[in-house]
């Protein structure tokens, strides 16, 4: 028997274009396209990619419900036995789309589905509890390892094999505990691990502890009357027209905009680029997210010396932790260089 598989990819891997084609609408094609050819080689005669469904990352991010529905209909039209999405590596919007498609396929079509992502891809945080995500490297350079791992997983599912542990089958942990039986009781296993640790030998814990990113609080401002205060937001407020094309989800950039002489972030000049929440109130009065008006009043009354001449803005919706850290480090370095004493950080 040759299994029928449908492959979901974005506009880049389909060879349509990069960011300039991110608004590409859902489209289906017969057979394998782009990385699907690599999957085809791995599957051999056991499975065939009967169709490929393509959607631009930007279009999917800005129209998630509509795009998911269209993509799902296109996939179902091929009557497949399974679906593969990606791999998305560390591409945030692509990962979000692959996660959403995989989730919809599993819940609505009830057939095996797998995708692949780098652990820091925002799609992992959003969907790892609901779908199987094979762990990949952070870039397409790792496709030679990702494709065989994803193919092996989907073939195992198609043949009725039970899914093993994340370590066995290469998927990202889902936070699900499964009862299993050991020859040795827990106390003995714990002592064995302790002895290996003391001897500097390799061992694998049965219960990895969570890792928290602890950030020590900054010292309070000692002289507020002479302080230079800056505004930074993850609420997506940008000049009308979004000149830097900051994405509505899984932002890959931030913008720097002058507010020298600006008394209020009014609806004439500003709007939000943020997806994932109702923008009505933010657009009718952008000061709700970027409080330029109130800070100008405080500046005029002498509560602090000056409002910094620029604000920095990005979108927090689905943006990866790695990207957020990068943005923060770059923004912080500039603010420190310009002598800013404190930052007011607003979100949605």
Q: So where are the chain's domains?
A: 3-169, 224-346
Under DSSP, is residue 239 helix (H, G, I), strand (E, B) or coil?
strand
CB-based contacts of 64-72 (< 8 A; 24+ apart in sequence): 64/100, 64/249, 67/26, 67/97, 68/100, 68/101, 68/104, 70/25, 70/26, 71/8, 71/26, 71/101, 71/104, 72/101, 72/104, 72/105, 72/108, 72/109
Give the separation between CA 284 and CA 211, rounded to whole angstroms.
Answer: 40
- List Cβ<8 Å contacts ≥24 apart for 288-292: 289/233, 289/235, 289/236, 289/237, 289/346, 289/347, 289/348, 290/231, 290/233, 290/235, 290/237, 290/265, 290/346, 291/231, 291/265, 291/344, 291/346, 292/231, 292/259, 292/262, 292/263, 292/264, 292/265
Residue 55 is encoded by which pair of tokens? 């959607």
Quote the tokens at residue 113: 């589905």
Across the 348 residues of the chain, what is the mean pLDDT of every consecutive 10-residue run?
Answer: 94 91 93 93 93 94 88 96 94 90 94 94 87 92 93 93 84 82 90 94 83 83 95 96 88 93 95 88 95 96 96 87 86 96 93
Instruction: State the Cα–Cα distance between residues 209 and 222, nearest whole angstrom.
Output: 39
The answer to whether the predicted template modeling score (pTM) of the entire model surpasses 0.75 is no
Q: Can you give the pLDDT at residue 76?
A: 96
What local confidence, expressed as pLDDT, does residue 318 receive? 74
pLDDT of residue 167: 81
The HSE-up count of residue 110 (CA atoms within 13 Å, CB side) is 0
309: left (phi over 0), alpha (psi -120 to 50) or beta: alpha
Cβ-Cβ contacts under 8 Å for 262 (sequence gap 6 or more) = 269, 292
| Residue that the structure tokens 């002479």 belong to | 226
CATH architecture type of domain 3-169: 3-Layer(aba) Sandwich (3.40)
pLDDT in the model for residue 16? 94
Q: Which pLDDT value is given to residue 315?
A: 92
Cβ atoms within 10 Å, residue 3: 18
Tokens at 102, concatenated: 């995989």
């Amino acid at each position: 028997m040759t299994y029928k598989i449908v492959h979901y990819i974005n506009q880049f891997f389909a060879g349509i274009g990069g960011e300039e084609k991110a608004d590409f609408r859902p489209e289906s094609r017969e057979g394998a396209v782009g990385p699907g050819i690599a999957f085809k080689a791995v599957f051999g005669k056991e499975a065939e990619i009967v169709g490929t469904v393509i959607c631009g990352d930007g279009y999917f991010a800005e129209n998630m419900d509509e795009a998911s529905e269209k993509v799902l209909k296109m996939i179902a039209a091929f009557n497949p036995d399974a679906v593969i999405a990606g791999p998305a590596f560390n591409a945030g919007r692509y990962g979000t789309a692959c996660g959403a498609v995989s989730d919809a396929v599993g819940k609505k079509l009830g057939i095996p589905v797998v995708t692949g992502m780098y652990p820091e891809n925002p799609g992992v945080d959003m969907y790892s509890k609901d779908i199987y995500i094979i762990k990949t490297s952070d870039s397409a350079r790792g496709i030679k390892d990702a494709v065989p791992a994803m193919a092996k997983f989907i073939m195992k599912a198609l043949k009725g094999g039970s899914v093993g542990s994340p370590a066995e089958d290469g998927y990202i942990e889902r936070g699900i505990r499964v009862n299993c039986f050991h020859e040795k009781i827990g106390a003995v296993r714990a002592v064995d691990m302790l002895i290996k640790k003391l001897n500097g030998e390799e061992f694998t814990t049965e219960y990895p502890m969570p890792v928290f990113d602890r950030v020590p609080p900054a010292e309070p401002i000692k002289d507020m009357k002479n302080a230079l205060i800056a505004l930074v937001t993850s609420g997506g407020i940008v000049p009308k027209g979004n000149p830097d094309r900051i994405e509505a989800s899984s932002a890959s950039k931030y913008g720097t905009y002058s507010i020298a002489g600006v008394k209020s972030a009014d609806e004439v000049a500003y709007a939000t680029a943020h997806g994932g929440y109702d923008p009505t109130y933010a657009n009718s009065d952008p000061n709700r997210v970027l409080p330029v008006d109130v800070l100008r009043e405080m500046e005029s009354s002498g509560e602090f010396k000056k409002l910094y001449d620029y604000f920095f803005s990005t979108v927090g919706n689905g943006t990866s932790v790695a990207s957020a850290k990068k943005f923060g480090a770059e923004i912080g370095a500039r603010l420190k260089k310009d002598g800013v004493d404190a930052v007011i950080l607003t979100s949605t």
